[in-house]
Amino acid sequence: MINRSAFCLFLILLLSGCSFLPTNIVNEIDMSQGVGYDLAEKKNIKGTIVFPIFKRDKTSSTEVRTAIGKSSKEIRSILNNETRYPLVSGQLRVALYSKKIANKGITDFVDTLHRDPAIGSLVQLAIVDGGANELFKMKKYKNENVSIHVRELLEQNMKMGLLPQTNLQSFLFQLFQIGQDPYLPLIKNENGNIRITGMAIFKDDQYVTSIPMKDFFIFKALVDKNRTGLRQFILEHRDKIVLETLYSNAKYKVKIVHGKPEFTINLKMKTRLHEFAPSEKQRKAFDKKRYQKQVEQELEINAINIVNQFKEHKVDPLGLGAKYKEHYRGFNEKQWKMYYPNVKVTVNADVEILQTGTID
């Protein structure tokens, strides 16, 4: 039987204990939802912050503030001295870094996010081809929360499109894992619209190169288990087909030959025929085996081309070094970096096209 006196005492202690927890009233704090960083003169940093303004009539607007300082913490302190209410970071959704600042390295900025217990690990990060400040202040997004727009742009393309999954957590994992380099989305203001234009590839924490959107399909297939996305293929005789990914998975095999690693990537894909347009303007049967073979050959060529680009720039976003380390006890990081530019990589694609149209 429950002891009512003990229960009442426990309830009183529980309720009184709640008073020790920090509480904030929404319209008495400024919740930063987007931050951006650019290079400024005299080795300074231009920091930009986006936060919503809540009003008593239940309408809201967005404010963008900028400050210049030596570090992200100094910038935050300066901005705090300008805002009516204290800035809090628990609602941060996106952090943007200009390409120029990424060229120098973004570890210090990312580390600040990581060490803030109020910030979740799923914050979206992106590199801006141009200025982060200018992007946050674009006129088209003046009446909406531009930081939420950028986050939703990135997340829907990761979920439904060809953009590989990235966030603060994945970036930190790739950054500190031996044998892998990080990658982040590259975005740009194009004719007044915020667009994803590529994937920024890093060497440690410094931006080195990028891959264009045309390579997203194969890159995502190599780094993610992909279940979405459309890709157009122009094949022999200019026949055009559009495939929708239903499933893809890349398995990496490592073999030591004469003391050096060799890699085989077995890429398996199941796709649905979304569109078929033969070059000849007449009704034509869809030769599934023939087109599967042509798609496999194109994917293998595209994969090797992108691997060669990575080797040329001495970056390893596929994590070949990490996979080598998993399979070989004698792994030596310095030695691996010497091997990498000339390491042998073979790609075998296995594509199945599930024809659902009337032409079969």
The pLDDT assigned to 281 comes to 63
51: pLDDT confidence band, cut at 50, 70 and 90? Answer: confident
Output the six-digit token pair for 229: 């996305």
pLDDT > 50? residue 14? no
Measured CA to CA, the distance from residue 30 to residue 88 in angstroms comes to 6
* Helix-then-strand count for the chain, H and E: 11, 14
What is the pLDDT averaged over residues 43-72?
84
What is the pLDDT averaged over residues 132-136?
95
SS3 state of residue 346: strand
Distance from chain centroid for Cα 206: 15
Mean pLDDT score across all residues of the chain: 87
Report the DSSP pairing between strands 183-190 and 60-69: unpaired
Q: What is the pLDDT of residues 71-125, one digit of tens each?
A: 888 998 898 888 877 777 778 999 999 999 999 999 999 988 888 888 888 899 9
The whole-model pTM stands at 0.87
Q: What are the structural domains of the chain?
A: 26-212 (no CATH), 225-360 (3.30.300.210)
What is the pLDDT averaged over residues 36-61?
84
What is the pLDDT averaged over residues 309-335?
94
Q: What is the pLDDT of residues 155-189, one digit of tens each?
A: 999 998 899 999 999 999 999 999 999 999 999 99
Measured CA to CA, the distance from residue 301 to residue 309 in angstroms comes to 12
DSSP string, 166-221: --HHHHHHHHHSTT---EEEEEEEETTEEEEEEEEEEETTEEEEEEEGGGHHHHHH
Q: What is the pLDDT of residues 253-294, one digit of tens each?
A: 999 998 899 999 999 999 999 888 887 765 667 788 999 999
Amino acid symbol at 15: L
Dihedral Cα 154, 143, 87, 195, nearest 10 deg:
20
- By the 8 A CB rule, do 323 and 254 touch? yes
What is the pLDDT averaged over residues 326-351?
94
Output the six-digit token pair for 338: 């010497």
